Amino acid sequence: METENQDYSKIWAYRKQQFNSITLSPDELNLLHDEIIRQTITIAFNKTTQIFGSPPSPFCFFVMGSAGRKEQGIWSDQDHGIIFEHNHPEVRNYFLSLGKEISEGLMQVGYSLCEGKVMASNPFWCRSYNQWMQQLNDWIDDASWESIRYLLTFMDSRAFLGEERFIRQLKQYSYQLIDEKHLLTRILDNTMHIKKTIGVFGQLLLETHGPYSGCLNIKESAIYPYVNAGRILAINEKLNATTTIDRLKGVPDSVLPKQNREKYANQFAKLQTYRLVYGIHTDYESGHYLAVNKLSKVEKKNVKDIIKDGIQLTEYVKMLAAKGDQNGNE
């Protein structure tokens, strides 16, 4: 973006113009998202400081989900939070106001509100540093399906404004606790279900009813296996990386040989391109489906190979996690 937009409506107009004629690569698309988000939170921050004054504490605004992993499609909803240092009601109220302004601004520029309210406008995701430490402890001790889901959502966090060290330190703290509690296999139980999309004769199993009949659910069948495996590897190796490709490439040879790391990373990169080129993209939901009838014979085979490699990676990570927890319990 060459010039700074001064209000939300101009950012929305810019976004609409860019996405109507999109010819970007997945990396370029996510750089564009980052720039739009950055300009939006800059406006929200300026509005908040004009009304309430300067921030009363060091803080970090962070994004999660596909934005945290830099793996957004054309449409994306909001997932974000705030960490502030000083634990005081007035400080909390200040950052909740900032979170509400950011949520409102992001909605106005095209990022729908999170249905699960994973947003900095929600006190649950806007806490002091010490409260975040306690919350991470509670999630790991509880280890229920919901607690693990919240924990994994936080694991994809990426600092966007303020103190990046808060995110880095809290992640390392979480990794240490997960290690101590031997929680990897429990986390796997939460994440490693894969939608079956290859039949016994090697054919792609497509949606049979509904608005995406004849399409492939690429999110559940192909993207999730790589994302979840990459996240487990990052936890196991205590990596700060958030993108799936960086996580896959960041593990040592002793865990995953270089040849396999490069193969899985390349397959995931191709997957992102297929989603961008052949996704439907009329709204957030439709971007998860691939219009298979537009693929050539070679491309269909390529997609099947990517799915098979994702399953293979998942099975390897399951074995790795089980072995790690077993050794830890000895």
Tell me: pLDDT of 105 over 50.
Answer: yes
∠ CA 29-35-38, nearest 5°, is: 140
Encode pLDDT of 235-246 as tens digits: 999 999 999 999
Higher-scoring residue by pLDDT: 157, 326? 157
- Which of 23-27, 86-90, 228-232 has the weakest average pLDDT? 23-27
Percent of the chain residues past pLDDT 90, beyond the cut: 76
**pLDDT grade for 13, boundaries at 50, 70 and 90:** very high
Tell me: pLDDT of 329 over 80.
Answer: no
**pLDDT grade for 326, boundaries at 50, 70 and 90:** low
Q: Quote the CA–CA distance of 103 and 282 in Å, as a whole number.
A: 22
Q: Quote the CA–CA distance of 318 and 215 in Å, as a whole number.
A: 29
**pLDDT grade for 2, boundaries at 50, 70 and 90:** very low
What's the pLDDT at 195? 81
Among 15-19, 73-77, 100-104, the range of highest mean pLDDT: 100-104
Tell me: pLDDT of 325 over 80.
Answer: no
Higher-scoring residue by pLDDT: 54, 17? 54
Q: Is the backbone of residue 63 left (phi > 0), alpha (psi -120 to 50) or beta?
A: beta
Residue 107: closest CA among 80, 127, 69, 133: 80
The beta-strand segments (E) located in 111-250 are 126-128, 158-162, 216-217
What's the pLDDT at 328? 55
> Which phi and psi (to 5°) does residue 204 adopt?
-75, 130
| Residue 112 DSSP one-character state | B
**pLDDT grade for 1, boundaries at 50, 70 and 90:** very low
**pLDDT grade for 22, boundaries at 50, 70 and 90:** low
- What average pLDDT does the segment 276-288 reach? 86
Percent of the chain residues past pLDDT 70, beyond the cut: 95
DSSP 214-249: T-EEHIIIIIHHHHHHHHHHHHHHT----SHHHHHH
Cβ(42)–Cβ(106) below 8 Å? no
**pLDDT grade for 281, boundaries at 50, 70 and 90:** confident
Cα torsion angle, 310, 312, 317, 322, sign = positive
**pLDDT grade for 284, boundaries at 50, 70 and 90:** confident
Q: Is the backbone of residue 13 left (phi > 0), alpha (psi -120 to 50) or beta?
A: alpha
Q: Indicate the angle between helix axes 8-20 and 89-108, nearest 10 degrees.
A: 40
Q: Which helix (H) or strand (E) holds 275?
A: helix 258-278
Encode pLDDT of 33-56 as tens digits: 999 999 999 999 999 999 999 999
- What average pLDDT does the segment 85-97 reach? 96
- End-to-end CA gap in the chain: 55
DSSP 18-59: HHHT----HHHHHHHHHHHHHHHHHHHHHHHHHHH-S-SS-E
Query: CA-based diameter of the chain, in Å?
Result: 65
Tell me: pLDDT of 162 over 60.
Answer: yes
What's the pLDDT at 33? 95
Cα dihedral value 111, 36, 165, 93, nearest 10 = -60
**What is the pTM (predicted TM-score) of this model?**
0.92
Token pair of 153 as six digits = 């959502």
What's the pLDDT at 3? 43
Per-chain mean pLDDT for the chain = 91
**pLDDT grade for 11, boundaries at 50, 70 and 90:** very high
Tell me: pLDDT of 216 over 90.
Answer: yes
Encode pLDDT of 263-280 as tens digits: 999 999 999 999 999 988
What's the pLDDT at 200? 85
Higher-scoring residue by pLDDT: 22, 131? 131
